[in-house]
Amino acid sequence: MRVFFYRTHRRQVLMSKQVLIIGGGFAGLNAAKRLAGDPRVRVTLVDQRNHHLFQPLLYQVATAGLNPADIAVPIRAQFSRDENVAVHLGRVEQVNLRDKWISGEDGVHIPYDYLVIACGAQHSYFGKPEWEEFAPGLKTLEQATEIRRRILSAFEKAENEIDPAVQRSLLTFVVVGGGPTGVELAGAIADISRKVLVRDFRRINPASARVVLVEAGQRVLVSFDEKLSARAARDLERLGVELRSGVRVTEIDSNGVNIGKERIEAKSVFWAAGVQAASIARKLGTELDPAGRVKVVSDLSIPGHPDAFVVGDLAHVAWTTDRIVPGLAPAAIQMGRLAAENILASIDGKSRESFRYFDKGLMATIGKNKAIVQAGQLKFGGYIAWLAWLFIHILYLIGFRSRVAVLFGWIWSYVFSKQGARLITNRDWKS
C-alpha cells in the first residue's frame, strides 16, 4: 500500500484551515454547504460513494416508482462553483484524533485542522448477519435496485411456475420492521401488485399477492401518536397488507421466515428493522451508546477532542430527559450546520453554541394517497396528509432537476397507475 500525505486542492491557501468531512449524507453535505465559499476554510468531503442520496424516497426506487437518478445527485456537482471544497471518493480506514489525520483504504493520508464525522447508520440484523442475503435492507441505491429486481422477478417467476405451492411462495412478500421504511415499502408493494401489475400477466393474478408486515413491538409506527399509528394500520390493511405485530422473526432462509411459531413461505423478504451506527465509531476510542452511536458533548464535538465533531445518525445527542435526538433528515441537517458554525466560531476565537434540536415533526406515507403527519399538536392523516407529505418531499429534494423528475414521475403514476422504472437489470454485464 502506498502511504502518502497529499494535497486535496490544486492551490492550498496558506492561512485557511483544512476541514475534513467524512460522509456525504444529509449531515455531512450540509456541513460542507455551510462552509462552501468561506475563505477561512478549505473543505475536503470524503465519501465512499459519488452521490448524495435522498433516503426518504429510496423505497420508491425499490418499488419501481422512481429512477435512482431522481433521488441521487453527484456530490461533486453540488460544489462545482466552490473552489474551496474538494470531494474525495474513497473509504476511510483510520481516524487518528491525536495527530489529526485520516487514512483511506487506497493509502491516502489526509491531515486536518477540524474533522466532521457523519457516516450515518446501517442495518443491524441483531447478530444474524447471514440473514442479509435472504432479506436485503434499504439504505443504498444498490440495495434498492436489488429489492426492485427481487420484487419484479418474483412476479415473472410466478407467471412461469406450474407448482401452485411454489407459485404461492413467489407471490408472498414479507417486510420485517414496522417503522416508516417498512410501512412505506409494504404499502408500495401492495399498491404495485394491485394497481400497476394487475393487467400485465396472463397466468397469475398479481392482485392476489400476499404482503405481510412483521413488527416485533405492539404497533407499527411506534414513534407516532397511538391514534395515528392505528389509522395507519387500518389504511395498510385496506391496501391488503397483513399486519403481524408483537411477534419476532426467529429465522430467515431462502424459502421464507419463521415468526414466533408460525412459518411463512416467502421467496421475497425485506429488512427494515433495527439500525446500527457505522462501524467507524468503534475505532475512535470514545464512549458509545448501545446502538454504537458516539456520545458527543453539547457542541457536537467528541469529549476530549474539541476539533472533531460527530453529527447525524452517528451522534448520540440528548433531546429531552428520556429521549435522544432521532435519526431523521432534519436533525442531521441541523447538526451538520451547527458543527460547521462551531468550526468557524473556533477559528474566529468565539465561543461555540450548543445543539438545540428543532423538531419538525414526523411523516409516513401509506400507499398512493394516504399518509399520517404529526408535528407538535398537529396530528392528521388521510389524503391531506399525503399532499403535505408530497409537498415536503418535493421541497427538500436537492436540485431543480430532481424536483421536476420526481413530480413528473408521481403525476404520471398517479394518473395512469403505471410505474416507469419497472426494469429488471442483472448484476452481471457480460454477454
Q: Closer CB to its own copies, residue 156 or residue 226? A: 156
Shortest reach from residue 296's CB to its own copies, in Å = 24
The length of the chain in residues reads: 431
Choose between 7 and 227: whose C-beta lies nearer to its own copies.
Answer: 7
* 199 vs 356, beta carbon nearer its own copies: 199
Burial 116-148 (b: 16+ CB within 10 A, else e): bbbbbbebbbeeeeebeebbbbbbbbebbbbbb
Angle between helices 26-35 and 329-347 (to 10 degrees): 30
CB of 412 to its own copies, least distance (A): 6
Q: To the nearest whole angstrom, how small is the minimum distance from the Cβ of residue 159 to its own copies?
A: 7
Distance CA 281, CA 124 (A): 15
CA 3 to chain centre: 33
184 is catalytic: yes
Q: Which residues pair with 366 in a beta bridge?
A: 370
For residue 302, the SS3 value is strand
DSSP letter for 14, please.
Answer: T
Task: Compare residues 83 and 265 and give the one whose CB is closer to its own copies.
Answer: 83
Looking at the DSSP bridge assignments, the partners of residue 121 are: 277
CB of 157 to its own copies, least distance (A): 8
Query: C-alpha cell of 345?
Result: 466560531
> What 3-state class would DSSP assign to 374?
strand
Coil, strand or helix at 404: helix
Nearer to its own copies, 30 or 413 (CB): 413
115, with CB counted inside 10 A (0-12, 13-18, 19+), is buried
User: Out of 159, 184, 251, 262, which one is annotated catalytic?
Assistant: 184
The least distance separating its own copies from the CB of residue 229, rounded to whole angstroms, comes to: 29
Say whether 136 sits in a helix, a strand or coil: coil
Active site positions, annotated: 184
